[in-house]
Amino acid sequence: MINEQYDAVVIGGGSAGYAATRTLTAGGMKVAVIDGAEELGGLCILRGCMPSKTLIESAKRFSAIQEAGEFGINVEGSSIDIKKVFARKRFLIDDFKGYRQDQLENGKFTLIRGYAKFTSSHEMEVKTEEETKLIKAKYFVIATGSSIFVPEIDGLKETGFITSDDVLEDEILPESVTVLGGGAIALEMAYYYAASGSKVTVIQRSQQILSTMDADIANELQLALEALGITFYCGTKITSTSKTNGGLKALHFTHDGESKTVESHEILCALGRRANSHQIDCDAAGVELNRDKIIVNSKMQTSQEHIFAAGDICSPLDVVHIAIDHGEIAADNALAIEKGETSRLREVDYTAKLLGIFTEPQVATVGLTEVEAKERNLSFKVESYPFNDHGKSMVHGTEHGFVKIIAEVGTKKILGAAVVGPEGVELIHELVVAISLGATVDQLAKIPHYHPTLSEIWTYPAEDLADELA
């Protein structure tokens, strides 16, 4: 067995892992990155953000063509060429993937293409295609990400199903699809299929889609997606699946106390992800878990102070910007401990917690929801404004959606904001800046906004709250 010694070892070369590696290397540490995946790049580039948004963009443009008549534009004979859609996706992803691969292979640190598991709190066994290595280090950053979770459903394996990985790889547009799940990934995939011409049914266990968001946000998005042709069943319990005599796939479930069956050409299982902690033997290192997630403190330290975690493996929200922040904080803190500067350890800050969903309309939130504000016993006011009564939105042809702002009584500080509407994930960033800087509704209301723009819609709830809280 080959022994190798490093100052720090990072397990995983995705967004969180690369952020940690880059920071540790810049700080002067001897670093190794261990990644045994078939392709380098991480979830976002290979099977997440970038490929999904590329497909969604094509579907969105195809859908816009179908609505062109409303704007006085005659379009006949339009169709979607799924092979060209995927060719464009592959071209873009190869570019993104190549860039990340170059970053990981630039020689500034050691890249080990293998699979690692702890043998003690300072040692790992790494199996590569050629050999097994014993790796020792003073510090570790676990950034092994997450993978698709498929629950046990009677008959599902026999009936057959697809996951988001398959959606992003298979050049197929099923005539009809039943989507299991009502979270961000499920709804983005449902929108992609529906906008591309498939008949889509969404089956959600909770009483609303987007179960962690405020009900008004979830309900507004559901109305918009129903107008696109998607059928929703919320508050369900899936009982089983089976194949029909005609070759379709049947999903059996209960809804409002009644047994129901939906038949479709395909079933998409989009019921969440699980953290990849089971592969690395956390027990051997004394790293504590909460189910599959690694438990970390605000400094990204695990139950072992010299072992850090970053990204989906420990995150309350599986999104890239948080993963990058985690990785940088973990690395900075390892460097600080090494220099004996424990007084300057950084802490993660979720004040401007941000989430975006690329359906049409888009959904985005930042900061606290109303539910969270109530749970914290905060005194707050909420104001909203609809897009269908806003000048530029009406020109845009928007029928669904609104923006809302949550502000604290007394301080007038903006606690949270949400948008369901056109370019919502872009629009939310004005409120991200405001919340990050601790702005009040008075300050937001006084910021000039060009007319007519989509972004000026924020001034309406801001002005109403400034008056109410005066």
pLDDT in tens, 344-370: 999 999 999 999 999 999 999 999 999
Domain with residue 9: its CATH number is 3.50.50.60
Q: Does residue 76 sit within a domain? A: yes
In a domain, 48, yes or no: yes
pLDDT of residue 46: 81
398/317 same-domain check: no
* pLDDT (0 to 100) of residue 139: 98
Residues 299 and 418 in one domain: no
Quote the number of domains for the chain.
3
Its sign, for the CA torsion 412, 414, 415, 416, is: positive
Residue 117 lies in a domain: yes
* Contact status, residue 269 vs residue 180, Cβ threshold 8 Å: yes
Is residue 326 assigned to a domain? yes
257: DSSP letter? T
Give pLDDT, residue 107. 82
pLDDT tens across 32-86, in order? 999 988 888 777 888 888 999 999 999 999 999 999 999 999 998 899 999 999 9
Domain end among 344, 373, 389 = 344
Q: Are 233 and 204 in contact (CB under 8 A)?
A: yes
Q: pLDDT of 318-338, one tens digit each?
A: 899 999 999 999 999 999 999
From 243, 271, 299, the end of a domain falls on 271
In a domain, 349, yes or no: no
pLDDT band at 265 (very low <50, low <70, confident <90, very high): very high
**Is residue 258 domain-shared with residue 281, that is, in the same domain?**
no
Report the distance separating Cα 22 and Cα 405, nearest Å: 37
Residue 109 within any structural domain of the chain: yes
**How does pLDDT run across 229-253, given as a tens digit for each residue?**
999 999 999 999 999 999 999 999 9
For the cut 70, the answer to whether the pLDDT of residue 1 exceeds it is no
At residue 63, φ and ψ (nearest 5 deg) are: -65, -40
Q: Cis omega before residue 452 (within 30°)? A: yes
Question: Mean pLDDT, to the nearest integer, of 387-398?
Answer: 93
Mark which of 322, 344, 366 sits at the end of a domain: 344
Q: Are residues 266 and 281 in the same domain?
A: no
> Would you say residue 359 lies in a domain?
yes
**Which pLDDT score is estimated for 334?**
98
Range 106-113 average pLDDT: 91
Residues 122 and 141 in one domain: yes
Q: What is the mean pLDDT of the chain?
A: 95
SS3 51: helix
Q: Are residues 281 and 252 in the same domain?
A: no
- One domain for residues 363 and 324: no
Same domain, 69 and 171: no
The domain that holds 461 is classified in CATH as 3.30.390.30
Q: Are residues 229 and 310 in the same domain?
A: no
Q: Can you give the pLDDT at residue 416?
A: 98
What DSSP line would sit under 159-225, residue for residue?
Answer: H--B-HHHHTT-----SEEEEE--SHHHHHHHHHHHHHT-EEEEE-SSSSSSTTS-HHHHHHHHHHH
Asked whether residue 59 is assigned to any structural domain, the reply reads yes
What is the spatial distance between Cα 249 and Cα 266, in angstroms, rounded to a whole number?
Answer: 6
Query: DSSP readout, 388-416?
Result: GGSHHHHHHT--S-EEEEEEETTT-BEEE
Residues of the chain with pLDDT > 90: what percent? 91
Task: Provide the CB-side half-sphere exposure for 97 (13 A, CA).
Answer: 16
Taking CA atoms, 143 is separated from 18, 83, 99, 206, in Å, by 9, 34, 19, 30
User: Are 320 and 435 contained in the same domain?
Assistant: no
Closest-CA residue to 80 (of 102, 67, 61): 61
Strand partners, 446: none
Has residue 99 got a pLDDT over 90? no
Structure tokens at 86: 């995927």
Structure tokens of 32?
Answer: 């190794």
**Interacting residues of 187 by C-beta distance below 8 A, sequence separation 6+:** 202, 209, 210, 221, 225, 357, 359
Q: DSSP states of 272-316 as a string?
A: -EEES-TTTTHHHHT--EETTEEP--TTSB-SSTTEEE-GGGT-S
Are 356 and 188 within 8 A, CB to CB? no
Q: Which two tokens stand for residue 199?
A: 């008949």
- pLDDT tens digits along 4-40: 999 999 999 999 999 999 999 999 999 999 998 888 8
Q: Under the phi-then-psi rule, with left for phi > 0, alpha for psi from -120 to 50, and beta for the rest, what region is 409?
A: beta
In this structure, of 48-52, 214-218, 356-360, 455-459, the range with the lowest mean pLDDT score is 48-52
Tokens of residue 401, six digits: 């959606």
Please check the confidence at residue 115 and state whether its pLDDT lies above 70: yes
Task: For the chain, give the percent of residues with pLDDT over 70.
Answer: 100
Residue at 213: amino acid letter? M
Cα dist from 113 to 31, 216, 217, 402, whole Å: 14, 47, 43, 48
7, 138: one domain: yes
In angstroms, the Cα distances linking 202 to 34, 186, 223, 255, 381 are 39, 8, 13, 13, 33
Tell whether 265 and 278 lie within a shared domain. Answer: no
Residue 406 burial class via C-beta count within 10 angstroms: exposed 0-12, middle 13-18, buried 19 and up: buried
SS3 state of residue 119 = strand
Domain span including residue 27 = 2-148+274-344
